[in-house]
Amino acid sequence: MTHSRDGVPAVEVNGLRKTYPGGVEAVKGIDFVVAPGEVFGLLGPNGAGKSTTIGMLTTTVIPSGGSARLAGFDVAEQPLLARGVSSVVFQDAVVDSSLTGRENLELHARLWGIAAADGRARIDDVSDALGVSELLERPVGSFSGGQRRRLEIARALVSRPRVLFLDEPTVGLDPRIRHELLDVVANLRGREQTTIVLTTHYLDEAERLCDRVAIIRLGEIVAMDSPRALLAGLGNEILELRVSGEAEHAIAELRERGVGGEDAFAIGARLTIPLHGCAPSEALSVLEEARIRVSEIATRTPTLDDVYLNRTGERLAAVA
Ligand code: ADP
């Protein structure tokens, strides 16, 4: 990993909690460590506690318990130092539409006390990395949504943060622009030495960008690993089908015959069966012998949605 100045983790979260006035337990004691240079994703449906977590890490939300450190600085005890080593791009725009792209970046460089010459070089650098160099002389009011989002990220990088927080970076963008932005963020890691912590409810985004993801549900981390490791737990192939009778009975039959392990599950009449090397036909013949009628049979490769579903019994994609 790059940028490992002193072996201190970029982000270290211990037992972090937030209960809002009124009693909503938005974050219920989470732990994770992000290494310097890592791209770490907080993945979960709306209301899972992702923004609250980012809020605590960026010192805008006061934790109710536990601790969080950025490059060694405690967000509650040393908020200025913690803010000094980090930058955040929120969902809502903070760039000024009446100024040009360059004026926005210069303003930000001045706010951070960056010397003019250094600031100019840095602005050239980050604009190039985010693909906004050609737009810099235009007022931001004339930017498209995707261009504005890229300028926001460029702005956040001007101060050379050790940790960059991206809160739902692609929300509100149409699919093509969204993919362009993902490319730009993916390319950042080669150029910038920043650790990135991003939140998303898009599975593909987490899979594509993140070295590791923490899957969050109702303020708790239900799984945390690299996307590849999380998916590997479910094998190479998943069989999905609908049964006419009792789904739990079908699962029990499959388990008894050694097809579909503990991770096979049913939601309503729909069965999801990680095959772990069994052929789909084996599962189908077990069900046929048990006189269970099946329909809507399909196989596919596992996704992070299956991981979420498997851990929580809910569909991430549907609730997002
Ligand atoms: P996410 O970012 O994953 O969508 P949030 O962190 O925004 O989740 O919200 C987590 C929970 O905390 C939700 O139940 C939400 O309604 C609640 N919540 C968020 N902000 C506040 C607030 N300022 N006051 C009270 N409850 C809040």
Q: Note the pLDDT of residue 6.
A: 66
Q: d(Cα 269, Cα 245) in Å, to the nearest integer?
A: 8
For residue 142 the two structure tokens come to 């004339």
The C-alpha atoms of residue 161 and residue 260 are separated, in whole angstroms, by 47
Distance, in Å, from the CA atom of 70 to the CA atom of 5, rounded to the nearest integer, reads 13
**313 within domain boundaries:** no
Residue at token pair 């934790």: 63
Residue 308 lies in a domain: no
Kindly give the distance from the C-alpha atom of residue 44 to the centroid of ligand 1, in angstroms, as a whole number.
12
Distance between Cα 55 and ligand 1 center (Å): 10
Among 27, 30, 52, 171, the mutation site with the greatest number of ligand 1 atoms within 8 A of its Cβ is: 52
Successive 10-residue mean pLDDT values, the chain, 320 residues: 66 98 97 96 92 96 98 97 94 86 95 92 93 95 92 94 93 86 85 89 87 95 94 89 91 91 86 91 94 94 85 66
Return the CATH number at 64: 3.40.50.300
306 part of a folded domain: no
Supply the residue whose CA is at minimum distance from atom 5 of ligand 1: 49
Q: How far apart are CA 140 and CA 154, in angstroms?
A: 13
Last residue of one domain, picked from the residues 230, 256, 281: 230
Q: Are 63 and 100 in contact (CB under 8 A)?
A: no
- Domain check: are 140 and 59 in the same one? yes
Q: Do both 203 and 273 map to the same domain?
A: no
Q: β-pairing, 265-267 with 238-243?
A: unpaired
Residues 224 and 258 in one domain: no
Q: Tens of pLDDT along 215-259?
A: 999 999 999 999 999 988 888 899 999 998 889 999 999 999 988
Q: How far is the CA of 52 from the centre of ligand 1 (A)?
A: 6
Check whether residue 158 and residue 188 sit in a common domain. yes
Phi-psi region of 291 (alpha: psi -120 to 50; beta: other; left: phi over 0): left
Residues 114 and 224 both lie in one domain: yes
User: Which residue's alpha carbon is nearest to atom 16 within ligand 1?
Assistant: 47
Helices assigned H by DSSP within the chain: 50-57, 79-84, 101-111, 116-130, 145-157, 175-191, 203-209, 227-232, 247-256, 280-289, 304-312, 316-319
Quick one: pLDDT at residue 266?
87
Indicate whether 249 and 209 sit together in one domain: no
Q: Which residues fall within 8 angstroms of residue 302, CB to CB, at 6 or more apart?
A: 231, 234, 235, 236, 237, 238, 274
Euclidean distance between CA atoms 298 and 315, whole angstroms: 18
In a domain, 171, yes or no: yes
Count of domains forming the chain: 2
Domain boundary among 211, 230, 249: 230
Distance CA 27, CA 64 (A): 9
What pLDDT, on a 0 to 100 scale, did the predictor assign at position 186? 86
Q: Are residues 42 and 66 in the same domain?
A: yes
The 3-state DSSP class for residue 75 equals: coil
Q: Flag whether 145 is in a domain.
A: yes
CATH code for the domain of 253: 3.30.70
Q: Is the dihedral of CA 307, 312, 313, 317 positive or negative?
A: negative
* Centroid of ligand 1 to alpha carbon of 18 (angstroms): 10
Per-residue DSSP letters for 107-160? HHHHHTT--HHHHHHHHHHHHHHHT-GGGTTSBGGGS-HHHHHHHHHHHHHTT-
User: Do 201 and 150 share a domain, yes or no?
Assistant: yes
Q: Which domain range does residue 222 map to?
A: 11-230
Residues 76 and 217 in one domain: yes
Same structural domain, 86 and 122: yes
Q: Which atom of ligand 1 is nearest the CA belonging to 45?
A: 3
196 three-state secondary structure = strand
Residue 126 domain flag = yes
Q: How many CB atoms lie within 10 A of CB 21?
A: 5
Q: Considering the domain boundaries, does residue 257 fall inside one?
A: yes
Phi-psi region of 174 (alpha: psi -120 to 50; beta: other; left: phi over 0): beta
For residue 319, the model assigns a pLDDT of 45
* Tokens read off for 278: 């069994």
107 and 252 both lie in a single domain: no
Flag whether 109 is in a domain. Answer: yes
Strands 39-43 and 212-217: parallel
What per-residue confidence (pLDDT) applies to 297?
95
Domain boundary among 230, 257, 282: 230
Q: Are residues 70 and 205 in the same domain?
A: yes
